[in-house]
């Protein structure tokens, strides 16, 4: 689907949503609608789509070359970020529109206040934009699968190289280098050892791999605009009883959650499928997060597979399914694949061996 077709599809939703225009501000939404990837930092970037399908890409003149190259039929409205905050340029792109949908989970309060003071009525519209972004077309599905294939190749290198005595910092630096050489943007390996792997968001550091450590290797990167995100686990030497038991629990939770990733279920159903299994084993560890998140042009995007979400799963959605169990003393086990909700059931876009690999 071309970028301009997506703009037209978004326009077709505005009437029912009662909006005069919608303003997309997330990097990933801007890229989805225009093909332009910016580097926002403190500067304002956005895409305005007015009812009728006209609109604009608004960006600092700093990004003029990339804006000029963006494959979009929308107007391109540049402003000088050293001389203003871009909002007067934004207002020009609104035309007579007054009731504006914004991505409420991204738009900052300072800008919301300015728009309100300028007479615009803001309406939450993240769901509206995600209604389009959530269901991936064949080209997008292929892009996620391609990203996963690159990550799978990096795992082979990680497992082949890893040995007792290696530091987390070195192992992660090498994996990031391999991802980047393959064209991966924002390479985010997150490979943790032993008790440190009991912290699902621990930062790789100077810890070295010891005999008896579990290894949780979460590897993600963005290729050609689309993310892959996987987790595999290993053990330095013969797995301990704890690790073997934790593996069995998480593998069962993974199988059930993947099976539940289908049309007819809601996000909470997938979470429930893993949670009921992981939470039954508090003596092994804790269930610290939901079943996963949608993935595409963002590494984490809505819908989220959490206990509070009644969002129905639709064909074309792609989710990480990533149950885990965590023990602050012994470490963690997590398994993660990227699962497509297809007409006939779940399809694994990151197929590769699922095993508790032993590092000798």
Binding region for a copy of itself (CB under 8 A): 37-39, 41-42, 60-66, 81-85, 102, 104-110, 112-113, 122, 124, 126, 169-170, 172-174, 176-177, 180-181, 183, 185, 187, 198-203, 271, 275, 286-290, 293, 299-300, 302, 304, 306-308, 328
Shortest Cβ 343–a copy of itself spacing (Å): 28
Kindly tell me which of 10 and 81 has the beta carbon lying closer to a copy of itself.
81
Shortest distance, position 63 Cβ to a copy of itself, whole Å: 5
Select from 312, 318, 303, 313 the least CA-distant residue to 349: 318
User: Which DSSP state fits 286?
Assistant: B
Cβ closest to a copy of itself, residue 9 vs residue 288: 288
Whichever of 38 and 346 has its CB closer to a copy of itself, that residue is 38
State the nearest-atom distance from the C-beta of 337 to a copy of itself, in Å. 19
Q: Shortest approach of a copy of itself to residue 360 CB, angstroms?
A: 25
Q: In a 3-state reduction of DSSP, which class is residue 326?
A: strand
Burial of 290 (0-12, 13-18, 19+ CB in 10 A): buried
- Measured at the CA of 83, the angle between CA 82 and CA 84, to 5 degrees, comes to 105
In 188-241, the DSSP E strands lie at 190-193, 214-223, 226-236
**Please, which residues bridge with residue 99 across strands?**
121
Find all residues with CB under 8 Å of 306, minimum gap 6, and list them: 267, 268, 271, 290, 291
Closest to a copy of itself by CB, 85 or 352 = 85
List all residues 6 or more positions away from 54 whose beta carbon is below 8 Å from its beta carbon.
74, 75, 95
Q: How far apart are CB 255 and a copy of itself at their closest, in Å?
A: 19
Indicate the residue among 145 and 174 with the shorter CB distance to a copy of itself. 174
- CB 79 → a copy of itself: shortest distance, Å? 12
Query: Which residue, 295 or 341, is less far from a copy of itself as judged by CB?
Result: 295
């Amino acid at each position: 689907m071309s970028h301009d077709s997506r703009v037209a599809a978004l326009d077709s939703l505005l009437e029912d949503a009662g909006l005069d225009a919608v303003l997309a501000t997330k990097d990933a939404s801007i890229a989805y609608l225009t093909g332009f990837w910016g580097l926002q930092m403190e500067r304002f970037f956005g895409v305005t789509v007015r009812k009728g399908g006209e609109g604009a890409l608004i960006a600092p003149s700093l990004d003029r070359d990339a804006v000029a190259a963006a494959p979009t039929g929308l107007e391109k409205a540049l402003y000088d970020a050293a001389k203003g905050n871009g909002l007067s340029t934004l207002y020009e792109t609104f035309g007579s529109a007054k009731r504006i949908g914004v991505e409420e989970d991204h738009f900052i309060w300072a800008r919301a206040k300015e728009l309100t003071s300028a007479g615009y009525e803001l309406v939450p519209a993240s769901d509206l934009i995600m209604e389009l972004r959530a269901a991936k077309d064949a080209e997008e599905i292929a892009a996620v699968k391609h990203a996963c294939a690159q990550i799978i190749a990096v795992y082979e290198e990680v497992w082949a190289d890893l040995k007792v005595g290696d530091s987390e910092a070195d192992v992660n630096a090498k994996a990031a280098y391999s991802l980047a050489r393959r064209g991966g943007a924002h390479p985010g390996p997150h490979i943790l050892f032993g008790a440190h792997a009991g912290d699902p968001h621990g930062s790789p550091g100077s810890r070295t791999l010891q005999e008896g450590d579990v290894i949780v290797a979460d590897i993600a990167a963005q290729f050609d605009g689309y993310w892959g995100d996987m987790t595999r686990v290993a053990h330095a030497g013969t797995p301990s009883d704890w690790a073997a038991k934790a593996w069995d629990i998480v593998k069962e939770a993974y199988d059930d959650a993947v099976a539940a990733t289908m049309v007819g279920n809601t996000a909470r159903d997938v979470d429930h499928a893993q949670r009921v299994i992981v939470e039954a084993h508090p003596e092994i560890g804790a269930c610290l997060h939901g079943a996963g998140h949608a993935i595409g042009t963002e590494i984490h995007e809505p819908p989220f597979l959490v206990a509070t979400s009644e969002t129905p799963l639709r064909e074309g959605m792609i989710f990480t399914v990533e149950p885990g169990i965590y023990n602050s003393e012994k470490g963690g086990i997590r398994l993660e694949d990227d699962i497509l909700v297809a007409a006939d059931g779940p399809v694994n876009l990151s197929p590769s061996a699922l095993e508790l690999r032993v590092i000798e």
